[in-house]
Structure 1
Amino acid sequence: MCGIAGIFDTQERRPINAEQLAQMNQTLFHRGPDDGGLHLEPGVGLAHRRLSIIDLSGGHQPLFNEDESVVVVFNGEIYNFQELIAELRTAGHQFKTHCDTEVIVHAWEEWGERCVNRFRGMFAFALWDRNRETLFLARDRLGVKPLHYALTADGLLLFGSEIKALLVDPTLSREIDPLAVEEYFAYGYIPDPRSIFKSVHKLPPAHTLTLQRGNGTLPAPREYWEISFQSNGITDVREATEQVIERLREAVRIRLVAEVPLGAFLSGGVDSSAVVAMMAGLSERPVNTCSISFGDPRFNESAFAERVAQRYRTAHHVEAVDPDDFNLIDQLAALYDEPYADSSAMPTYRVCELARQRVTVCLSGDGGDESFAGYRRHRWHVHEEQVRGRLPQWLRGPLFGTLGALYPKADWAPQVLRAKSTFLALARDSVDGYFDSVSILDATTREALFSPQFKRDRQGYQAVEVLRRYAARAPEHPLSRVQYLDMKTYLPGDILTKVDRASMAHALEVRVPFLDHQFIDWVSGLPPELKLQGREGKHVLKKALEPYLGDDILYRPKMGFAVPLANWFRGPLRERVRQSVLGERLNDTGLFDAQQLQWMVEQHQSGMRDFSPAIWSLLMFEAFCAQQNL
C-alpha cells in the first residue's frame, strides 16, 4: 500500500514548486516508508510513497511506459494484473517490471479512460499523459482506497491520498463547509464527495476525473461502475451456499499474492472467521491471525477468536486493550484530517498496530454486513416498512408522530422500552426513517446544538439529503435499498476510511475479500429473503459456513468493537470533556450554542441523560480544530 500526491497546472505549463511537492510527499511517509519518488515536468508534479508488497526490487514509482510519455503514481493492488499483462503483451506492449503498477500505464494506452473497467482490485491512482496533455484520476469501485483533490485560486489542482498532503499549500482555503458540519454531526463522518473544507473534495468510489490543460475549471467526476442488484437467477439456498463458498474462496485466493508476511484480522465474528477459514484451506503454512481483547465481557470476542484459531491451527496473537485506552483522541485527529466520530477507530488502530508487528499485509472481513444484511438496523427497517405499507402516510404520520412526542426519552431503560425513536421513525417516510436509524445525533439534538448563526449559514440544508440523493437510484426492495444506501455512504465514509487511516498509520496493507467487486455484484443479485430470514441476518452466508465454523460463531449475538464512552465522560475524561466541549476553541468557531453545550455536559455527567454520542462528536471536532489551529 502506498501514498500518492501531486500538482497539476490546469491553465499553462508553469514550473511546479519542487519543495512543496516533496513536502506533500513527506506528509504521507507513514503510508509508504520503504521508498519515495518524485516526477516533475513543466506544469505537472507527481509524488509517491511506497510500501513494498509485490516486485520488491522493481516497483519504484512514479512509473513510466516505454517512451516515458505516460507516467503513473498508484496506491493499491490490481489482483488480475498477471492476466492483464498477458493480454497487453499480446497487443504489443513491453513490460520492464513484474509489478501490478505497470499494467496501469499500458492499459491506459490500450483502452484509455475505460481501463478502470478492466481492473479488479482496490486502487487510487493519478496518471499523466504528456501527448494528450491529460491528467487522469481514478478510485476503485467500493472506495477501499481514498483520493482527495482541490483547485487553488490560481488554477493548480492538488491531489493526495490524505487531506494533509493538500494542506501543505499555504494558499489553499481552510474555510469550513457548514454543510459538511451538518453531515458530520448526523453521520459521525463526512460522506463523499464533501470534506470538512469547502475547497477539498473526495473523489467518490467508482469515479474518475479527467482534466486537460487549458480548461482551468474542474469537470464533474465520471461514474464507471454501479452495484447492479440484478437477479442472478439463484433462488435455491443449497445452490446459493455452494456458490457463496466458491466465490468467497476465489476472492480470498487472489488476495494472497504477496512477497511479504501476510495474515488476517480475527475478531471471532462471522466475517473475519470466514476469511480465516478460507485462507487456511488455501495456505500451506499456518495463517497469522491477530485479535484484541477487552476487559468488558460485553465487547470481548477474544474467546470466540481463539476457538477459530484452534480449529484452523493459526499462528494466533492476542493483545489486551486497556478499557481506558483514551489517549488516542489527539492522535486520531491528526490521522483523519477532518472530524471523525466512530469511536471504534481506537481499537481498530490498536489491532493494526498489533498486526504490523508480524505481517505487512492483513485480510479483513469488512463488507460482510453490508453485502449480506448483517446489521440489526436492516432487520428493523424491513419490519418498519411492513408497518408503513399497511398504514397510509396521512394516518401513520400523525398517529406515530403523536406517540413519539408523548413517549418519554428513556436512555436509562432497557432497549425494549425505548419506543420513542421507533414511533418517530414510523411517522416518517422510508428514507427519513432509515436516516434516523443511522444518525448518531437526531435532528432535534442537532438543531439544539447549533448556534443561530450556523443555522443561517447552513441555509436549511439537512444531512438526510445525502441518503435521498442515492435513494433516487436505489433498488425498490426495502432490504436491498438500505444495503445500497450503506454501500454508498457508511461503507466508504466510515468503515473503509477508519481501516485505511488506522492501517496506514502503521504501514499495514489491508485487503478486503468481501468487497471484491465481482463477488459483491453477484451477492447483490441474490434474493433478499436469502440474506435476511426472519430475525436472522446473513442467512445464506451462515448456512454456507456451517461446515467451516461452529454454531457458537455463526449464530451468537453480534458484538463488534465498542468503547465505554459514557463512563469515560463521567470518570477519567470528566475534566477533558469540560475543557474541550465548554472551552474557548469550540466557542470561537461560532458553530455551537454555548448554553446547550453546558446543559448537555451537566446532564450527562450527572447521570440524568446519556449524551455520549454528542459529546464524543464534539470532542473529536475540537481535537480537529486544535490540530488545524482553527
Structure 2
Amino acid sequence: MCGIVGILDTRGARPIDREALRRMNESQFHRGPDEGELYLEPGLGMGHRRLSIIDIATGQQPFRSADGTMTLVFNGEIYNYRALRDELVAKGHVFRTKSDTEVIMQAYQAWGEDCVHRLRGMFAFALWDRNKQLMFMARDHVGVKPMFYSLLPNGLFVFGSELKSIMTFPELSRELNPRAVEDYFAYGYVPEPKTIYHHAFKLSPGHCITLRIGDAVVQPRRYWDLPFKVQPKRPQEDVERELIERLRECVGSQMESEVPLGAFLSGGVDSSAVVAMMAQQGAAEKRKPVQTCSIGFDHPDYDESIYANEVATRYRTNHHAQIVDQDDYGLIDTLARLYDEPFADSSAIPTYRVCQLARQRVTVALSGDGGDENFAGYRRYRFAMAEQRVRDKLPLGLRKPVFGTLGRLYPKADWAPRVLRAKTTFEALARDTVEGYFHGVSRMPDRMRDELFSDAFKRRLQGYRAIEVFKEHAANAPTEDPLSLIQYLDFKTWLPGDILTKVDRASMAHSLEVRVPLLDHTFVEWASNLPTDIKLGGGEGKYIFKKSLEPFLSHDVLYRSKKGFSIPLAGWLRGPLQDKLRAAVRSPQLLDTGIFNADFLHTMAEQHIAATHDHSAALWQVLMFETFLRVNAQA
C-alpha cells in the first residue's frame, strides 16, 4: 500500500522539475512512511511512497523494466499475482523480484492494455512505455484505491493518489467547480469523475487512460462494469453453499502479508462474516489467532461492542476494543486536511479512530465494506422497493399530481416519529425510480438547495442539477430491474465516493492498509447476478447472505437492527459545536464565495439550535464545506 505521483510532459521531453516532484511525493508521506523514491528522465517524473507489505526486500518503486524502457508506479495489492506470475513464467518471462508490482509490468508486456482484465485486486497504477511514447493508467474495478489527475495549461499531465499531491502545483487553478458544489450538497461528497476543483479529476473505478505524447485531451475509458445478468433459479441451499465457498476464497486470497495482519470487527454482519472466515482459515493453517479491533461508544444508542465481543469470543480472536467519547468532535479540521475536498460523512470520525486503534497492532486490516451494496442491505433499499410497488400500480400521470400535491402540502415533521414523516415519501412517489431514489438518498433535498444557494450561483449552474449524476449512470446500467438499478447507482456513486474514500483516507492517515474481500470484483460480479428476491427476501435485507452465515454467526449478530457508525450530530450542533456552527455560517470564507444565501444559512442554524427543526445533516455539510475552505486557504 502506497502513494504514487507523476508528471508527464505531453508536448515532448522538457526537463521535469525534481523539486516539484519531491513536493508532490512528500505531500503523501503518510501513505508510505517506509520508503520514498523518485525517478526522472526527459519528459517524465514518477514518485512513490512505500508502505511495505509484500516482498519487503525487493519491491521498491518506481519500478523499471530490465531494459529500462518501462517505468511503473503502483498503489495497492494484486491478490492473484502468484498465479499470474506462474502463467507468465510459463510463457518465458523472467522475474527479478517476488513482487506484485513486477507482475503488473510483465503482464502489460505480455498482454498490453488488456492486462487489466487479468488483475484481481485493489490498484491504481501508471506505466510509462518509452518505446510507444505513452502512459497507461488504470484504477481497480470498484474503486478501492484512488487516482487524481489534471492536464495543466503548460501541457504537463500530473497525477497522484490524493488530491493534495496535484494541488501542490500553483499552475493548477483552485477555481471551484459549480457542478461539484451542487453535487456535494446533494450527496455529501463529490462523485467521480469530478473533484471540487474545476480542472482536477478522479479516474473513475473500472476505467483506464492511454495518454500519448502529443495528446491534447485526456479520455478515460471503461474496461469493466457490473453485469447484473440474473441467473436461472437454483435451490437456495446450493446458493448458500457457493456463497460461503466464494467468501472463504476471497478472504483467504487477501490474507497474505509479510507484516502483522488483522481485521476490523464492528459486530455487524459483514465484518463478523470476514472474521469468521479468517479464523477458520487461520486455524486450518495453524496460524496465530486473528487480531481484531473495534471501538465502542459511551452511549448505548450508538454502541455495538457487545456483539463484537461475542464474535471475538466465539472465534477466539485476539480482540482489542476501545471506548470512544461520544463527543469526539475535535477532528473536524483534521478531516478537512485528509479528504482535500468537502466530505460530509460524519462516520469518518469513528472510522479514523478505529484505524488509529488498529495501527497500534497491525499494518494490514480486512474490513467488511461492500456487503450492503452486494446484497441490498441498506434500509433505504426496503423503503425504495416499497415505494416502487406503489409506482408499479399507479401510472406516473396519476402519481405526479396526487403525490406531488401531498408532498407540497404535508409539513416537514423532523420532530415526529418516522411513521409520520411522510413528506419525503410523497415527494418520492411523484417521481420515477431513479428520481425517487435520488430524493431518498439526498442529504439536502432539491427544495432546500434552492433556498441555500444564492441567485447568482444558481445562474452559474446553468440549470444543472445533481440528479444528472444518477441519470447518466442509469442510462448506462445493464439492468432495468428496480432493485438492481439502485444497487448499480450505489456502486457507481456512494461506494467509491463515500465509503471507500472514507476508509482509504482514514486508514492511510495512519499508514494502515485496508483490504475489502467483499469487494473482490469476481465476488461482486457473482453477487450482482443473483435474483433480487433472495437479496431482499421477505423484507429482510441481505437475506441470502445472512441465511448462508447462520452456521457461523448467532441470530442476534445476523438479525438485530443495524446501528452503523453513527454519531450524535443533532446534539453536537445544538450543544458543544453551537458556537462553531454560528461562526461557520457567518464566515467570510463561506460568504465571500457568492454561493450561499446568507439569510437562509442563519435561519437554518438558529432553527436547529432552538430545536424547532432538525437540520443536522445539512448543517454538517455546511460546516465541513466552510472548514474545507478555511483549511485550504491556509495551505
TM value normalised by structure 1: 0.99
Any idea what the Cα deviations from partners look like across 1:418-442, whole Å, max 9, x if unmatched? 1111011001111110001110000
Alignment partner, residue 292 of structure 2: 289
Task: Supply the RMSD in Å over aligned alpha carbons.
Answer: 0.8
Alignment partner, residue 243 of structure 2: 244
Instruction: Assess if the C-alpha contact under 8 Å between 2:587 and 2:626 holds in 1.
Output: no
- Pick aligned residue for 1:527 from 527, 531, 540: 531
Alignment partner, residue 219 of structure 1: 218
Distance (Å, rounded) in 2 between the aligned partners of 1:584 and 1:174: 17
SS in 2 for 1:52: coil
Q: CA deviation at 1:303?
A: 0.4
Instruction: Assess if the C-alpha contact under 8 Å between 2:292 and 2:318 holds in 1.
Output: yes
Moved more, 404-413 or 137-146: 404-413
Measured at CA, do residues 583 and 219 of structure 1 come closer, stay the same or move farther in structure 2, by a change above 3 Å?
closer
Distance (Å, rounded) in 1 between the aligned partners of 2:235 and 2:543: 13
Report whether the alignment pairs 1:559 with 2:563: yes
Alignment partner, residue 55 of structure 1: 55
SS in 2 for 1:485: helix
- Pick aligned residue for 2:451 from 419, 444, 448: 448
Distance (Å, rounded) in 2 between the aligned partners of 1:65 and 1:54: 19
| Map 1:72-111 → 2, pairs under 5 A | 72-111=72-111
Distance (Å, rounded) in 2 between the aligned partners of 1:66 and 1:92: 14
Instruction: Assess if the C-alpha contact under 8 Å between 1:379 and 1:537 holds in 2.
Output: yes
Distance (Å, rounded) in 1 between the aligned partners of 2:544 and 2:239: 7
Alignment partner, residue 3 of structure 2: 3
Alignment partner, residue 415 of structure 2: 412
Distance (Å, rounded) in 1 between the aligned partners of 2:164 and 2:255: 31
Distance (Å, rounded) in 2 between the aligned partners of 1:273 and 1:282: 14
Any idea what the Cα deviations from partners look like across 1:103-150, whole Å, max 9, x if unmatched? 111111111110110000000001001111111111000000000000
Report whether the alignment pairs 1:186 with 2:186: yes
Letter in 2 for 1:456: R
Q: CA deviation at 1:219?
A: 3.0
- Pick aligned residue for 1:502 from 486, 503, 506: 506
Instruction: Assess if the C-alpha contact under 8 Å between 1:75 and 1:125 holds in 2.
Output: yes
Instruction: Assess if the C-alpha contact under 8 Å between 2:259 and 2:364 holds in 1.
Output: yes
Instruction: Assess if the C-alpha contact under 8 Å between 1:232 and 1:522 holds in 2.
Output: no
Instruction: Assess if the C-alpha contact under 8 Å between 1:581 and 1:615 holds in 2.
Output: no
SS in 1 for 2:566: coil
Measured at CA, do residues 249 and 234 of structure 1 come closer, stay the same or move farther in structure 2, by a change above 3 Å?
farther
Instruction: Assess if the C-alpha contact under 8 Å between 2:10 and 2:157 holds in 1.
Output: yes
TM value normalised by structure 2: 0.98
List structure 1 runs of 4+ shifted beyond 3 angstroms. none
Q: CA deviation at 1:30?
A: 0.1
SS in 2 for 1:472: helix
Alignment partner, residue 29 of structure 1: 29
Instruction: Assess if the C-alpha contact under 8 Å between 2:193 and 2:203 holds in 1.
Output: yes
Distance (Å, rounded) in 1 between the aligned partners of 2:173 and 2:455: 24
Alignment partner, residue 608 of structure 2: 604
Q: CA deviation at 1:86?
A: 1.0
Q: CA deviation at 1:231?
A: 2.5
Distance (Å, rounded) in 2 between the aligned partners of 1:585 and 1:39: 39
Q: CA deviation at 1:214?
A: 1.5
Any idea what the Cα deviations from partners look like across 1:153-193, whole Å, max 9, x if unmatched? 01000100001000111111110000000000000000000
Q: CA deviation at 1:530?
A: 0.7
Distance (Å, rounded) in 1 between the aligned partners of 2:389 and 2:573: 39
Distance (Å, rounded) in 2 between the aligned partners of 1:610 and 1:129: 55
Distance (Å, rounded) in 1 between the aligned partners of 2:193 and 2:571: 35
Distance (Å, rounded) in 2 between the aligned partners of 1:49 and 1:443: 42
Letter in 1 for 2:373: E
| Map 1:472-491 → 2, pairs under 5 A | 472-474=475-477, 475-491=479-495
SS in 2 for 1:24: helix
Q: CA deviation at 1:251?
A: 0.2
Distance (Å, rounded) in 1 between the aligned partners of 2:448 and 2:496: 25
| Map 1:272-283 → 2, pairs under 5 A | 272-283=271-282
Distance (Å, rounded) in 2 between the aligned partners of 1:165 and 1:184: 21
Q: CA deviation at 1:412?
A: 0.6
Distance (Å, rounded) in 2 between the aligned partners of 1:296 and 1:427: 39
Report whether the alignment pairs 1:400 with 2:400: no
Distance (Å, rounded) in 2 between the aligned partners of 1:587 and 1:446: 16
Instruction: Assess if the C-alpha contact under 8 Å between 2:585 and 2:598 holds in 1.
Output: no
Identity %: 58
Q: CA deviation at 1:232?
A: 3.5
Report whether the alignment pairs 1:573 with 2:573: no
SS in 1 for 2:603: helix
Instruction: Assess if the C-alpha contact under 8 Å between 2:12 and 2:213 holds in 1.
Output: yes
Letter in 1 for 2:603: W
Distance (Å, rounded) in 2 between the aligned partners of 1:51 and 1:227: 31
Alignment partner, residue 154 of structure 2: 154
Distance (Å, rounded) in 2 between the aligned partners of 1:229 and 1:438: 22
Q: CA deviation at 1:627?
A: 1.6
Any idea what the Cα deviations from partners look like across 1:573-604, whole Å, max 9, x if unmatched? 11100111222211111110000011011111
Distance (Å, rounded) in 2 between the aligned partners of 1:211 and 1:204: 16
Any idea what the Cα deviations from partners look like across 1:277-319, whole Å, max 9, x if unmatched? 0000001321000100012211111000000000000000001
Instruction: Assess if the C-alpha contact under 8 Å between 1:235 and 1:527 holds in 2.
Output: no
Distance (Å, rounded) in 1 between the aligned partners of 2:230 and 2:420: 39
SS in 2 for 1:629: helix
What is the aligned length? 629
Any idea what the Cα deviations from partners look like across 1:498-526, whole Å, max 9, x if unmatched? 00000000000000000001011011111
- Pick aligned residue for 1:589 from 577, 584, 593: 593
SS in 1 for 2:476: coil
Alignment partner, residue 375 of structure 2: 372
Letter in 2 for 1:261: P
Q: CA deviation at 1:5?
A: 0.3
Any idea what the Cα deviations from partners look like across 1:311-363, whole Å, max 9, x if unmatched? 00000000111111001000000000000000000000000000000000000
Q: CA deviation at 1:234?
A: 4.5
SS in 2 for 1:141: coil
Question: Where in structure 1 are there 5+ consecutive unaligned residues?
Answer: none
Instruction: Assess if the C-alpha contact under 8 Å between 1:274 and 1:545 holds in 2.
Output: yes
Alignment partner, residue 428 of structure 1: 431
Any idea what the Cα deviations from partners look like across 1:456-508, whole Å, max 9, x if unmatched? 10111000010001111221111111111100110000000000000000000
Question: Where in structure 2 are there 5+ consecutive unaligned residues?
Answer: none
| Map 1:348-363 → 2, pairs under 5 A | 348-363=351-366
Report whether the alignment pairs 1:347 with 2:345: no
Q: CA deviation at 1:218?
A: 2.2
SS in 2 for 1:598: helix
Report whether the alignment pairs 1:253 with 2:256: no
Instruction: Assess if the C-alpha contact under 8 Å between 1:176 and 1:196 holds in 2.
Output: yes
Q: CA deviation at 1:408?
A: 1.2
Report whether the alignment pairs 1:618 with 2:617: no
Distance (Å, rounded) in 1 between the aligned partners of 2:537 and 2:234: 13
Any idea what the Cα deviations from partners look like across 1:44-84, whole Å, max 9, x if unmatched? 00000000000111111011122111110000000010111
SS in 1 for 2:45: strand
